[in-house]
Amino acid sequence: MGEAIVITSGKGGVGKTTTSANIGTALALQEKKVCLVDTDIGLRNLDVVMGLDNRIIYDLVDAAEGRCRVQQALIRDKRFDCLHLLPAAQTSDKSAVNAEQMKQIISELKPDYDYVIIDCPAGIEQGYKNAVSGADQAIVVTTPDIAAVRDADRIVGLLEQEDMSPPRLVVNRVRRTQEEDLLDVDDVVATLAIDLLGIIVDDEEVLKASHKGEPIVMNPNSQASLGYRNIARRILGESVPLMAIDQKKSLFAKVKSMLGLKV
Amino acid sequence: MAQALEVKQMSTEPSKNLVTIKGTKDGLTVLLDDQCSFDELIKELKEKMKKDKQVFGNGPEVEVKVDAGYRYLRSHQKEQIINLLEEAEPILVGEFHSKVITREQAEREKEEGGLTSVAKIVRSGQVLRIQGDVLLLGDVNPGGIIEATGNVYILGTLKGTARAGIEGSKNAVVCASVMAPHQISISDAIFYAPDRYEKKDRKPLFEEPVYAYIANEDVEISFEKARLLGQFLKKTAAQKENSLNT
Ligand SMILES: Nc1ncnc2c1ncn2[C@@H]1O[C@H](COP(=O)(O)OP(=O)(O)O)[C@@H](O)[C@H]1O
Ligand SMILES: [Mg+2]
C-alpha cells in the first residue's frame, strides 16, 4: 500500500506544481512507483510541466463521475518504468468533484504505487479540501516572503486539524545571496515550526525545464535538481544534510569579506 | 394547642432582634438574621420599619448597606427587602451583601478567575479565546489572535494579536517572553505596532520580556519589564479590594 502525499501552500505561484512534478520524478528516478494527481481543476498545469499535455483523453472529473475507470484516465510517462499522471479537468471548476469522490480515487490508486503525489490548488476552499481528503501526509511549500509564509502558516494550522502526520516544509526559490528584504530560511522555519524537508534554490533553469516538458530534477547539473533529489531521499527515510550552497554568500560578498569589510 | 401558643409567643418575641441597624463610620448597615425563616424576617422588618419610619422622618437621604449573613436570597426576595427598607423615604439601599452564592455563580467565577494553560502555536487565521487568564506555551504567529477575559501570558513570541480583558477589565495585562506584536488590546485600548514600512528591522519591540498594561486613568497602553509584573498585579488586586469594600 502506497503513501499519498499532498503538496500544498495556500498561496499561488510558490511552486506546488513544480515541487509535485520534481518530487514525483525524483522518486521515479529512485525506481519507486509513482502516480501524480493534479487536483487543480480548471487550471491544470502538472501535465504541462511534465510534458505530457498532448496525451490527455480522460481526466479526474471523468473518473470521479464514473465516465471512465481511474486507470483509463492515467497517462503513462514513457521515460520511467512507473510514473503515471492523473490530469485535472480543464473545463470544469473545483466544485465538479467532492472530497468523498477524491478520497475514493486516491484509495483506488494507493495499492498500485509506492507514492501518490497530489498537487493541490491555491486557496483553502473546496479545491484544497479535495486535495487533502485522501492524503496521508502533507508537504507545505513556501517561498521566503512574508505573504507566502503567512498563508503557509494558515495551511499548517488547517492541516493540524486533519488526521495525518505533521506536515513537512519545503522552502522554494531561496536566493543564493542573502538579501535584506527577504526572510531567511531560519526565519521561515522558526515561524512555521515544522520539520524542514528541504530547500530549493531560485534557479532560472526551473522555468526553462518546464518549457521543455522535462522536470529540472532530470538535469543532474542544476542546484535545484540536487535539492529535489535530496528531498526525495529524505522522503525515503535517508538522512541527508541540508545543502551548504543554499545560503552561501555571493561572490561579491565573499570578496568583500576577504578584504576584511563587513558584509 | 399549647404548642401553637408557644410558637406564637416565640415569633412575637421582640428581644430576638432579627433585624439590627448598626451605625459604622461608613454609614448605616442593616444586619439580617440568617437563621430564622424568611417570613419571620420579613415580619420583623415590617414592624421595625413601622416604628423607625418616624425616626428617619423626612431627614436627609441616607444610604444603607444590607448584610444578609449566611442567607441566600433570590432576587425577588432581595427586592422585597429593599422595597420594605426604602418605604422610609430617606433610606436608599446601596449595597446588598450575602456570604453565600449559588453553585452556578461559583463555577462561573472560578472559570473567570482561573488560569488555563495551552501548549500550541496560534497560527495565521486561528483564534484562541479563553475565559479567565491564559498561559500560552508557544508562539502567536502573524495573523493569529489570542484573547482572554483576564490576562494573557505568552511563554513564547507574540507576533500576532493579543487581547486581554475582552469583557472590559482595564487591569488586565498582556505579557510575553518576546514582544513583537501586530496589535495588542486591553479592554478597549488598542496598541498598534509601527507599520511595517516604518520599521528598520524585524526585531522585537523590547530586548527582554515585558507586559502591556493600561497605566492609571490612561487610555493608552504602556509597556513595563515583566519582572515588575508582580507589583502591578498586587496593586490592582488591592484597588479591586478597596472598590468592593466601599
Ligand atoms: N526554484 C525555482 N526557481 C525558479 N523558478 C521557479 C522555482 N520554482 C517555481 N518556479 C517558477 O514559479 C512559477 C510558479 O510555479 P508553480 O509550480 O506553477 O507554482 P504553483 O503550483 O504553486 O502555483 C513557475 O513559472 C515556475 O517555473
Ligand atoms: Mg499549481
Per-residue pLDDT of A178-237, as tens digits, reads 666 667 899 999 999 999 999 999 999 999 999 999 999 999 999 999 999 999 999 999
Q: Does residue A16 line the site of ligand 1, with CB under 6 A?
A: yes
Does position B61 have pLDDT exceeding 60, yes or no?
A: yes
A100/B19: higher pLDDT: A100
**Of B221, B203, B239, B224, the residue nearest B164 (C-alpha):** B221
Q: From CA A143, how far away is CA A170, in angstroms rounded?
A: 8
Q: Domain total for chain B?
A: 2
Task: Mean pLDDT check: name the lowest of A140-154, A171-185, B223-237.
Answer: A171-185
**At B246, is the pLDDT very low, low, confident or very high (cuts 50, 70, 90)?**
low
pLDDT at B6 > cutoff 80: no
The interface predicted TM-score of the complex, written ipTM, equals 0.80
Give the rounded percent of residues in chain B with a pLDDT score beyond 70.
Answer: 87
**DSSP state for residue A218 in the 8-state scheme:** G
Residues B194 and B114 in one domain: yes
- Indicate if B190 and B115 belong to the same structural domain: yes
CA dihedral B217, B223, B225, B230 (to 10 degrees): 40
Mark whether B87 and B133 lie in a shared domain: no
Q: What is the DSSP-derived secondary structure letter of residue A121?
A: P
The pLDDT of residue B11 is: 46
* Distance in angstroms (rounded) separating the CA atoms of residues A63 and A73: 7
**A256, pLDDT greater than 50:** no
Backbone phi and psi for residue B164, each to the nearest 5 degrees, phi listed first: -115, 155
Helix, strand, or coil here: A172?
strand
Residues B150 and B240 in one domain: yes
Same domain? For B215 and B162 the reply is: yes
Chain B CA closest to residue A10: B124
Instruction: Say whether both B110 and B91 belong to one domain.
Output: no
The domain limits of chain A are: 3-258
Q: Is the CB of A112 under 6 A from ligand 1?
A: no
Under a CB-based contact definition with an 8 Å cutoff, are residues A213 and A52 in contact? yes
Same domain, B26 and B78: yes
Contacts with B157 (C-beta within 8 Å, 6 or more apart), sequence order: B139, B140, B176, B177, B178, B180, B204
The residues near A163 (Cβ < 8 Å, ≥ 6 apart) are: none
Residue B91 pLDDT level (bands cut at 50, 70, 90): confident
Residue B193 resides in a domain? yes
Q: Which of B125, B142, B159 sits opposite A157 (nearest CB)?
A: B125
- Domain end (from B100, B135, B162): B100
Q: With bands split at pLDDT 50, 70 and 90, how would you rate the model's confidence at B23?
A: confident
The residue with cell 418616624 is: B54
Note the helical H segments in chain A: 16-29, 46-49, 60-64, 70-73, 99-109, 126-133, 146-159, 185-192, 204-212, 223-235, 251-258
In a domain, B75, yes or no: yes
**Atom 14 in ligand 1: which residue has the minimum CA distance?**
A13
Identify the CA nearest to B12 among candidates B35, B53, B44, B34: B44
Q: A161 exposed, middle or buried (CB, 10 Å; 0-12, 13-18, 19+)?
A: exposed
Determine which of A31-35, A72-76, A246-250, B112-116 has the lowest per-residue pLDDT on average. A246-250
State mean pLDDT over A250-255.
Answer: 46
Q: Which of B78, B100, B122 is the last residue of a domain?
A: B100
Residues B28 and B57 in one domain: yes
Q: What is the pLDDT of residue B57?
A: 66
Domain end, chosen from B100, B129, B146, is at B100
> Are A150 and B142 in contact (CB < 8 Å)?
yes
pLDDT of residue B112: 67
**Percent helix / strand / coil, chain A, rounded to 5:** 40, 15, 40
**Residue B5 has what pLDDT?**
46
- Same domain membership, residue B118 and residue B47: no
Q: Quick check: B143 and A156 CB within 8 A?
A: no
Task: Give which of A49, A18, A5 is closest to A143, Cα–Cα.
Answer: A18
What confidence tens digit (pLDDT) does each residue in B35-50 have?
Answer: 999 999 999 888 888 8
Task: Give the range among A63-72, B57-66, B157-166 with minimum mean pLDDT.
Answer: B57-66
Question: Which of residues A262 and B18 earns the better pLDDT score?
Answer: B18
The answer to whether residue B159 sits within a structural domain is yes
Please indicate, yes or no, whether residues B96 and B110 belong to a single structural domain of this protein.
no
Q: Which CATH number fits domain A3-258: 3.30.300.30, 3.40.50.300, 3.40.50.970, 3.40.50.620?
A: 3.40.50.300
Q: Decide which of A262 and A92 is more confident.
A: A92
Mean pLDDT of A73-102: 95
What residues make up the domain containing B79? 19-100
Least confident of A46-50, A52-56, A62-66, B97-101: B97-101
Strand B27-32's sheet: what is its strand order? B19-24, B27-32, B62-67, B91-97
**pLDDT value of position A231:** 97
Domain of B235, CATH number, reads 2.160.20.70
β-strands B127-130, B145-148 pairing: parallel
CA gap B103, A155 in Å, rounded: 42
Q: Please name the residue of chain B whose CA is at the shortest distance from the CA of residue A181.
A: B201
Q: Report d(CA B104, CA A68) in Å as an integer.
A: 61
Shortest CA distance from A154: residue in chain B: B124
Residue B5, in any domain of the structure: no
Chain B interface disruption, residue of A153, A159, A160, A162, most B CBs within 10 A:
A153
Tens digits of residue pLDDT in B165-223: 999 999 999 999 999 999 999 999 999 988 877 776 778 899 999 999 998 777 899 99
> Could you identify the residue written with the cell 522558526?
A190
- The more confident residue out of A178 and B125 is B125
Whether residue A207 has its Cβ less than 6 Å from ligand 1: yes
- Write down the residue that cell numbers 506536515 correspond to: A167
CA dihedral A229, A232, A237, A242 (to 10 degrees): 50
pTM of the predicted structure, to 2 decimals: 0.75
Query: Is the CB–ligand 1 distance for residue A15 below 6 Å?
Result: yes
Residues of A in contact with B121 (CB under 8 A): 193
